[in-house]
Structure 1
Amino acid sequence: MDLEPHQIHTFYEYVGFMIQEESEAIKREEYLQRPMNLLNQKWSKIKGHARGSVDFLKDQDVIRTVPNILQTNTSVASALRTHLLSLITLIFVNMLNVYKMYSELILSSIAEHVLCKTFEVKIMNFHFLNLRWL
């Protein structure tokens, strides 16, 4: 709770390095589930609300939280190297769905002749076009 997003990414990356060193696949999976639980809960909450109303994704906190969740997963994935399949299976399809929802929001905002310089569209474009996943 007290860490800045970049500090959280670094923390999770180093957790990923530690998990990557585990030679037993079953233990590695178990170790991966524990630290990712909080992120997965946030992710599930966002997905649930977004399914109810895509407009939920326009909320400023959500616009900031989603890229942070994805970046944290990226940090873990980069540390896991060859053992990242289990992480990807947890988030990949849902990540694509959220990208699709944001793309549709951006396109609908443009289609409604809303200026692309509005804060929401600008920040969504920034976060989701510049995020490097794997």
Structure 2
Amino acid sequence: MSTKILIADDEPNILISLEFLMKREGYEVVLARDGQEAMDAIVRERPALVLLDVMMPIKTGFDVCCEVRAHEAVRDTLIVMLTAKGRDTDVAKGLALGANAYMTKPFSTKELVQKVRELLGGGA
């Protein structure tokens, strides 16, 4: 069975390209288009890892990260925050809230795949 990844981003082009990339790597992919949808999907689908955009409608990635870490059933979900906000304070905030990794846009797809593999401990 392949490992499940949730991709949460409000930008359709990013969703499409990340979905293609992760499926090509052998992962099962679930999509969310805003923070609330992401939180609902995390609880429902129990993905091993979440690629989480910071700037999203309804709830930010920071909000979702906080909620996941506070939610008993899903608190161990791995979270990679993806954002255009690359200032040190933003990175520090994401990591302080419990993100496992933080990548700033634009990022190399090769680096992203490497980071996902690293966090998941190998392959799909």
TM norm structure 1: 0.27
Higher normalized contact order (CA 8 Å, seq sep 6+, divided by chain length): 1
More strand by share: 2
More helix by share: 1
